[in-house]
Every structure is written in structure tokens, then in C-alpha cells.
Amino acid sequence: MNNAQDKIPAPQQRDDEQILQSAAQEEYKYGFVTDVDTHVIPKGLNEDVVRLISRLKGEPEWLLDFRLKAYRYWLTLEMPTWGHVNLPPIDFQAISYYAAPKKKEDAPKEIDPEVKKTFDKLGIPLEEQMRLSGMAVDAVMDSVSVRTTYREKLAELGVIFCSISEAVKDYPDLVRKYLGSVVPYRDNFFAALNSAVFSDGSFVYIPKGVRCPMELSTYFRINAAETGQFERTLIVADDDAYVSYLEGCTAPMRDENQLHAAIVEIVVEDRAEVKYSTVQNWYPGDKDGRGGIYNLVTKRGLCRGYRSKLSWTQVETGSAITWKYPSCVLRGDYSTGEFYSVALTRNCQEADTGTKMIHVGHHTSSTIVSKGISAGRSQNSYRGMVKIAPNAAHSRNYTQCDSLLLTPTSGAHTFPVIEVHNDTSVVEHEATTSKINEDQIFYCNQRGISTEDAVGLIVNGYAKEVMSKLPMEFAVEAQKLLSVSLEGSVG
């Protein structure tokens, strides 16, 4: 991984083309493994495993039923193959479905210092006083949530922010009401799998009329080997509520591929607003495509309420294979859906990502801005659907879908589907594909900026429209991440 010797040390006669092509790698900064005593159940998947997970988590009967139904349905399905990715067959019996850092028996409330150190190293301090400001964190390692900060403070406002496991115990009615209401277990292959074996994730409930005063954030960390992570996140914003939620993720470097199959469900009621931001930086595999996370995720929000609004922003730089379409079902009249995405792929990464905007209510509107950046031999696809139902009168969609190619060996693809079933709606679709411009690079060079830094600047400029949608603290991190990820691609 750390091919420092591959970095081209300011050569005198440089060939920009060559620099862009040489896919030497910057070290993945989050690739370390934490040595922590972990309880891992034996590999394999069957009904007993589903029951075991449910028992380990001390779940009520109704949830076990939900899991078993999902599992039995999953057995009837085949893994889908329509993605523009080379996803090899996955041996679902070779994965362990539950891994949890063990708690010390004498102090079950304490976090293992190693786990704490891990999150410190990732820049996610679990001590509330250490947080910069205005952000509460739920930290998830492998299959369990290890700490949720600011819970009590948020509870004073009636805001519930906890792991979904705790929510099942403490707020069973809420979870039962909404779990699977946006992404039913019958939705797709991976949704069925997740519904059967989901481990942990975050639960957020913002009561009527409350603007959540701080950013809520979940940080997902895969640590254990030969395990999968199947987190489940459920966010409910009741009437007139507002919340901004952030999700970050990293994993160790390993030669084997690891599976991450998550579900995120969001419900937005009357006049409520949810902003969901992701910076996805799972381990992408090495420069020859060995290892890396398979990131196969179902994310969907239901804008159920009148004038409700849901905004997805994602910066995707990690994972060997990414397959996800954060979507909005715009059922409430005058509801709004937004999708802003930057997907950077390099080396052998493959990303097939986009969104679905399903307009059901009248006067609904949606905006899609997708910026793909392909380097190395990677393949980067935008796949999107805009569907305007017969009753969704006077609806609008604007889609802008741009691709930037950094190397001639990379690929950019778009698969847009547009269905309009009434004649009062307006749908606009703009798409561009461009190569990085040598004149821009030389202009930067002449001002003393190296080609590598120039590409970082230009790409960040290209992605700015999306980056500007991220919350401030996150945006700075994401910008650095884009530049750092690019260092590998250009020098």
C-alpha cells in the first residue's frame, strides 16, 4: 500500500498524461486494525444465526419475526446483477454476521480504551467535552454502537438519538411503527438480507416542532475480519421538525473483500426537513483491486408530509464497489427532494450510484446534481430515475449530471430513466462529460502549483456545488479527503 517510492519526485521532464495515468497510491489513512477482544459468532447464515443475533441483542418477539420473515424471503431471491459493476458471487456462508467488541465484565458501562483510542485516531472523540461544538455522535464499531454522545441533553428537547438496539428496548412502539415502512424487507436482495441480520445503527426521532440544535452524526467503523456490517438507520422527523444528520465510515485495509449492506430509512412529516450527509470512505482496496469494501446500500426517504423536504448529500471516495441510490418518495403535496453527489473512483474502484425521485404528490419538486470523477482504471456510473406519477400534477425535476475523466483508462457512464405521466410537469436533464484540461493544469503550474495539487484544486472546484451543501465542519474534511484521495491518482 504505502508505495512512497512510486511517487514521482518532481521530475524535470514530466508528462502530465503519464502522471495522471500512474496510479501510485497514497496510503489509506484509516487502514489500521484495533486489537480489541471481539465477540464474533461463527461464520454462516441460517435461521439459527438469525435467532442468535436477535437473542444476543435481547430483542422482543415481533422483531425476531420480522427478521425471520425477511430471512425466508431472502432465501427465495437471487443476487441482482444489473449494476454496472463486476460484483463477484458472494459466499454468504463465509461471513460472520455479528461481531462486537467485548465489554469488561467488571465495568460493563465503560468503553474499552482501545475502542476509544480507535475513534480518537479517526478524529471522533467519544468524550462530550472534547467535541468541538454542536455535534452529537453515535459511534458504531462492527455490529454494535459503542457510545452515543449528548443523549441526555437532546432528550431534554424530546429528541431521541440512540442506537437502534437501544431504541428497540426503550421506544419499541416508534421503532415498530416505522421500521420497514420506507424500505420493506421485500424491497430488494440486500434489503432482505439486512432486515434478517441487521446489527446496529442509529435511531433518530425529532418531535413535532423541534429544530434539532446540533448536527447528529453516526460514525461507522468496521474492525473485525471476515465479518459483514449490516447497519440500520431510521430517522423520523415529525411535523415541523428539522434535523441535519451526518454519516462517516472507514475500515481497515485487508486483502479480502468485506460486505457492507446497510439500510437507511427516513420519514419526513408535514413541513419537516431532513438533511442527510454522507462522507463514505470505506477501504477502497489496493491499486490492483485487491480487497476493499463492497458497499451495497439501500437508502430511501419518504416525504410523507405536506411541504416536507429531504436532502441527500454524499461524497463517495471509498469502497471497492459502491452500489447505492439514496432516493426520495415525494408523497406529500409540495414536498421537495434533493440529491447532491460527488463520487470519486480511482485505481480499480467501481461505483454505480445515483438516485430515484418518485413524484407522487402534486407540486412536488426535486433537484439532482451528480458529479462523477474517474481516475485510474475505475468505472463510475450515474444511474437515476425520475418518475412523475399521473397525480403528481405541476411537478418539477432538474437533473444535472457531470462526469470528469482524469485518465483515458477510466470510464464514466450514465443511465438515466425519466418517466412522466402527466402533462403539467417539467423535467430537465443536463449532462456533460469532460476531461481534465491541460491548459488549466499548466496555468496552475506556472503559478507554482504542482500538477498533483492543481488536479486537487480543479476537482474540488468541479465538485464545489455539491461540497457547499455539506455542513461546514464536514465540508473541510471532505475537501481534504478529495485531494488526498486524488494524490494517489496523479502522482
Q: Which residues are at the interface with other proteins (CB under 8 A)?
A: 10-12, 14-16, 437-440, 442-450, 453, 457-458, 460-465
The DSSP letter of residue 122 is: T
Residue closer to other proteins by CB (options 181, 483) is 483
- Measured between alpha carbons, how far is 389 from 361 in angstroms, rounded to an integer? 8
- Measured between alpha carbons, how far is 268 from 303 in angstroms, rounded to an integer? 5
Query: CA torsion 4→6→7→9, rounded to 10°?
Result: 110
- Least Å distance, CB 228 to other proteins, is 37
User: Alpha-carbon torsion 80, 82, 83, 89, what sign?
Assistant: positive
Q: Residues with Cβ < 8 Å from 95, sequence gap 6 or more?
A: 43, 45, 226, 227, 228, 259
- Least Å distance, CB 392 to other proteins, is 33
Residue closer to other proteins by CB (options 120, 465) is 465
Q: Residues with Cβ < 8 Å from 454, sequence gap 6 or more?
A: 440, 441, 444, 445
- Least Å distance, CB 477 to other proteins, is 16
Q: Residues with Cβ < 8 Å from 341, sequence gap 6 or more?
A: 312, 313, 314, 315, 316, 353, 354, 355, 369, 370, 371, 466
Residue closer to other proteins by CB (options 202, 479) is 479
Residue closer to other proteins by CB (options 11, 80) is 11
- Measured between alpha carbons, how far is 216 from 214 in angstroms, rounded to an integer? 6
Give the DSSP H/E element, type plus range, for residue 392.
none
- Least Å distance, CB 456 to other proteins, is 9
Residue closer to other proteins by CB (options 3, 450) is 450
Read off φ and ψ for residue 164, nearest 5 degrees.
-70, -30
- Least Å distance, CB 123 to other proteins, is 21
Q: Classify burial at 225, counting beta carbons within 10 Å of its beta carbon; exposed 0-12, middle 13-18, buried 19 or more.
A: middle
- Least Å distance, CB 145 to other proteins, is 37
Residue closer to other proteins by CB (options 188, 445) is 445
Residue closer to other proteins by CB (options 109, 447) is 447
Give the DSSP H/E element, type plus range, for residue 61.
helix 61-75
- Measured between alpha carbons, how far is 355 from 329 in angstroms, rounded to an integer? 11
- Least Å distance, CB 305 to other proteins, is 35
Categorise residue 485: left if φ over 0, alpha if ψ from -120 to 50, beta otherwise: alpha
Q: Residues with Cβ < 8 Å from 335, sequence gap 6 or more?
A: 268, 303, 305, 306, 307, 308, 309, 310, 361, 364
Residue closer to other proteins by CB (options 12, 76) is 12
Scanning 171-311, the segments in alpha helix (DSSP H) are 172-178, 189-197
Residue closer to other proteins by CB (options 59, 487) is 487
Residue closer to other proteins by CB (options 107, 472) is 472
- Least Å distance, CB 437 to other proteins, is 7
- Least Å distance, CB 431 to other proteins, is 17
Coil/strand/helix, residue 339: strand
- Least Å distance, CB 378 to other proteins, is 22
